[in-house]
């Protein structure tokens, strides 16, 4: 997930909403799995069975197991494994 418009620590279940059909804009509640660096988190989400990397424009202070609400523009990047 990139282009985080808003984030806020909440007490809620994991969920995701697409308020505008066929838009990349998503409102979601995620759980922090790992704090990667000052502006990146690995999260668990209702959007995917896999963990998702979230990149913020600014530094964030969220910690492992924090549950946060995000307004984002969602873009999937698939990486092909080369054997």
Look at residue 39 and give its three-state secondary structure: coil
Question: What's the CA gap between 10 and 8, in Å, rounded?
Answer: 6
Decide if 64 is inside a domain. Answer: yes
Decide if 80 is inside a domain. Answer: no
Question: Using one digit for the tens of pLDDT, what is the confidence trace for 5-38?
Answer: 789 999 999 998 888 888 888 899 999 999 999 9
Decide if 25 is inside a domain. Answer: yes
Q: State residue 76's pLDDT score.
A: 59
Number of domains in the chain: 1
Range of the domain at 19: 2-73
Decide if 35 is inside a domain. Answer: yes
Decide if 78 is inside a domain. Answer: no
In our burial notation (b when 16+ CB lie closer than 10 A, e otherwise), range 34-59 reads eeeeeeebebbbebeeeebebebeee
Look at residue 83 and give its three-state secondary structure: coil
pTM (predicted TM-score) = 0.80
Query: In this model, does residue 81 exceed pLDDT 60?
Result: no
Decide if 81 is inside a domain. Answer: no
Decide if 19 is inside a domain. Answer: yes
Decide if 69 is inside a domain. Answer: yes
């Amino acid at each position: 997930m990139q282009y985080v418009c808003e984030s806020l620590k909440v007490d809620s279940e994991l969920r995701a909403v697409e308020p505008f059909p066929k838009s990349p804009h998503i409102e979601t509640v995620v759980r922090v799995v790992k704090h990667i660096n000052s502006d990146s988190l690995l999260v668990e989400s209702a959007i995917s069975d896999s963990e998702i990397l979230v990149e913020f424009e600014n530094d964030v202070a969220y910690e492992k197991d924090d549950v946060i609400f995000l307004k984002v523009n969602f873009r999937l990047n698939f990486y092909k494994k080369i054997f």
